[in-house]
Amino acid sequence: MTVHNNNEIGIRLSGTGGQGVILVGIILAEAAIVFDDKNAIQTQTYGPEARGGAVKCEVIISDDDIDYPKVEEPDILLAMSQKAAITFAPDLKKGGILITDSTFVGDVPEGRYQRFNIPFTQIARDELGKIVVANMVALGALAGITEVVSRMSLEQAVMKRVPKSFLELNRRALAIGLREATTELVDHPLK
């Protein structure tokens, strides 16, 4: 990936409560720390209404020590809602990556970033019959596009975090997200 500085990658994950954004952040951080042997930190904020309100989760992944736990200018932004895209896209670093759930996100502010539009929620509904795993489709796509963690570490972190009764569904969702990333990169290679 070409968007990071000093071996440190700042990732902001955002959307609406109930979309599983925080779980995506936890899995990303665990994949980096436990299975890829990197340093990582994960923080989260959400409105008082929790389900249905705004949610923001940040993950920093680094080969070195992490001095500050907040992401001021993200290298990568995952926006699962229109409001999240409008609110946070202007914060992206020049040359950053914006990944949106095009099921809900239309227009976003112009910026000096590369944008990938994938209908995570529609894919989860149409291919898996459950919109609840749209977050895993998004996680697979984010990891596939950016390579911030290895595929193996991501799968292991999902296995560690997801209840056994939903493991196969989440694995399939992750694989579909990785497939979508490959398709997107063929059509829009990283600059």
Topology of 8-187 in CATH? Pyruvate-ferredoxin Oxidoreductase; domain 3 (3.40.920)
Higher pLDDT, 54 or 139: 139
51 confidence band (pLDDT: 50, 70, 90): low
Average pLDDT, the chain: 91
pTM for the model stands at 0.92
Domain ranges of the chain: 8-187
The residue count of the chain comes to 191
Q: Which of 134, 174, 183 is nearest to 150 (CA)?
A: 174
Higher pLDDT, 159 or 108: 159
